[in-house]
Amino acid sequence: MNHILVKYGNLEYHQYNPNIEEIGCSFNIFGNGRVKKPSLPYSLHTEYSASNMSEQASERLSRYGFRTLATSVRAKKSDLWFSKEWAEEFADFIHFIISDVFDGEEPEVIEIHPPYVKNRNYEESLDLFFNVYRLFEENIMRKYSKEISILLENRNQSGNFLLSKSSDYVCFRNRITEKGLGLKLIVDIPQLYGKMLRTYPEWSERTIIEKIFVDLRQCKDVIGGFHICGKGHNGDFNDLFGENKQMFLELLKTLVDDIDNILYVVPEINSQRDFDSILNDIETHGIFDFKQGSE
């Protein structure tokens, strides 16, 4: 097993000593001096289309030559994977961050996010994404000497995203396999669960949890990580799953034990109390095999 616990925020990791950290660089903080430089090998967390694109961000992107990124906006938020030009420019944006902001230090991981479903047509939107994404992956792999993992995270809030339900993971897995891509999928647990609750209000919570893992088991060969947290970035698994927490943890362990890929596990948690609670659940059930005391 190769399970990597990623450093997030200012959490105290106790007996664990993460040797990779998450660094965020959304469009709104690009160029304003707020991008944190990594002190460890890092995972680059890119634009996720949650906040409105500010006028200042649009101006900064244009000033640095990223005009397609600056002008591709939907409902005031960045319209990700809008076109082939967008994908090529997004790769150039990442090259600029790595070379000019991070002094050439290449990331271990680039985490990306799905686009909106276009005109409510899922299959056409899926085709558009993969046609556009392929250019991005080829650009990144051509540029760097080491193998960088590209992970796509599911999204839920702020719009109808292409990767949001558990059945979407199956669709993505099939396309990734058909096209021979290196892309892996990362599972944001609360966003996935929240989307399923809203999509299937007539289902019981237990049925929804079962459905999630039935689908994810079909995708085990392309799962590359998990975001672990409660509701949003607050709360723990008790808050999220209530009386169904034990069932969730048992199904998560079964899934993780059956995955051979490297798994990057990001505790996107604001509270130390919540992190300690979630870490205790994971340790008690032996879900991830994090190396303790790594240097």
Short-list 136, 151, 160, CA closest to 45:
151
> Which tens digits make up the pLDDT trace of 189-216?
999 999 999 999 999 999 999 999 999 9
Distance CA 229, CA 223 (A): 18
Token pair for 166: 């558990």
Tell me the pLDDT of the chain (295 aa) as tens digits.
699 999 999 999 999 999 999 999 999 999 887 788 999 999 999 999 999 999 999 999 999 999 999 999 998 999 999 999 999 999 999 999 999 999 999 999 999 999 999 777 899 999 999 999 999 999 999 999 778 999 999 999 767 899 999 999 999 999 999 999 999 999 999 999 999 999 999 999 999 999 999 999 999 999 999 999 998 788 999 999 999 999 999 999 999 999 999 999 999 999 999 999 999 999 999 999 997 544 4
As assigned by CATH, the class of the 3-285 domain is alpha beta
> Which tens digits make up the pLDDT trace of 80-130?
999 999 999 999 999 999 999 999 999 999 999 999 997 778 999 999 999
DSSP code of 63? H
Is 227:186 a contact under the CB 8 Å cutoff? yes
- Kindly give, in sequence order, each residue whose CB lies less than 8 Å from that of residue 108, ignoring residues fewer than 6 positions away: 20, 41, 42, 43, 148, 149
Domain boundary assignment for the chain: 3-285
